[in-house]
Amino acid sequence: MPRTIGSHSDITGPRVRAAALKLFAEHGFAAVSMRRIASEVGVQAGALYNYTPDKQTLLFELMQTHMEELLAALPQQSDASVMDRLEGFVRFHIAFHHERPDAVFIAYMELRNLDPANFSRIEALRRRYETALEDILGAGSDQGIFDVADTKITTLAVIAMLTGVTTWFRPGGRLSLRAVQDQYWDMVRRMVVRAPDGSV
């Protein structure tokens, strides 16, 4: 049952966040005004402050939501082989980031616009994600299946490589998402798997 005319808290809130996500990704946090976000939603600027105490908090909550969804969606598969776990991570990272290009872009580009307390909280979430990959690489090294000189560096290298996909991949282009996943999995596999005896 509708409330008073002009009252839309349950739908305006999500629309504010969606508009902010889109505009921050497109133009950058600092370049987007609250008036511009309000205009995108179809309300006046003052109305936004029913949904966020300030612009900084709006940015932080977008980033926090993204990172928490990323961690929640990360496949656990702790009883699978390290090879399958690594393949699962690679395919997951590409697919998940592909579905949320705006949030990914903001999460990487707008860290410097977070105030120090918010920055620390986002960094902690990011570290948890990196650790998931580092654990796989460490386990594979312990088992002698992977040959990784430094799990920390390889973790960062793999994540940078995979995240780079979002800067150029567009559906309907030359390659399907599946084909991109296949190629990146092949590259990552070759980067970390121990070469058979006598092949080096």
Partner DNA sequence: GTCTATAGGAGGATAGAC
Partner DNA sequence: GTCTATCCTCCTATAGAC
CA 185 – CA 170 distance, rounded (Å): 19
Binding segment for a second copy (CB under 8 A), chosen from 6-14, 27-35, 80-88, 117-125, is 27-35
Indicate which of DNA, a second copy, none lies near residue 121 (CB less than 5 to 8 Å, by partner kind).
none
If one asks whether residue 68 binds a second copy (CB under 8 A), the answer comes out as no
Q: Which of 18, 22, 28, 56 binds DNA (CB under 7 A)?
A: 56
Measured between alpha carbons, how far is 72 from 49 in angstroms, rounded to an integer?
29
Contact 52, 58 (CB under 8 A): yes
Q: Is 14 in the site for DNA (CB under 7 A)?
A: no
Which of the residues 131 through 190 are near DNA (CB under 7 A)?
none
Binding test (CB under 7 A) with DNA, winner from 14, 26, 27, 44: 44
Q: Which of 102, 91, 90 lies closest to 159 in space, CA to CA?
A: 90
191 binds DNA (CB under 7 A): no
Does the protein bind DNA through residue 18 (CB under 7 A)?
no
Q: Whose CA is closest to 171, among 95, 120, 102, 112?
A: 95
Residue 43, contacted partner among DNA, a second copy, none, CB below 5-8 A by kind: DNA
* 2 contact, one of a second copy, DNA, none, CB 5-8 Å limit per kind: none
Token readout for 112 is 């410097």
Amino acid at 103: A
When CB distances are held under 5 to 8 angstroms depending on the partner's kind, the choice from a second copy, DNA, none that residue 157 binds is a second copy
Q: Among DNA, a second copy, none, what does residue 59 contact (CB within 5–8 Å per kind)?
A: none
* Listed residue (169, 28, 41) closest to 105, CA to CA: 28
Is 118 near a second copy (CB under 8 A)?
Answer: no
Smallest distance from the beta carbon of 126 to DNA, in angstroms?
Answer: 25
Name which of DNA, a second copy, none residue 164 binds, using a CB cut-off of 5 to 8 Å depending on partner kind: a second copy
Residues of this chain that interact with DNA (CB under 7 A) are: 6-9, 12, 32-36, 38, 42-47, 49-51, 53-56
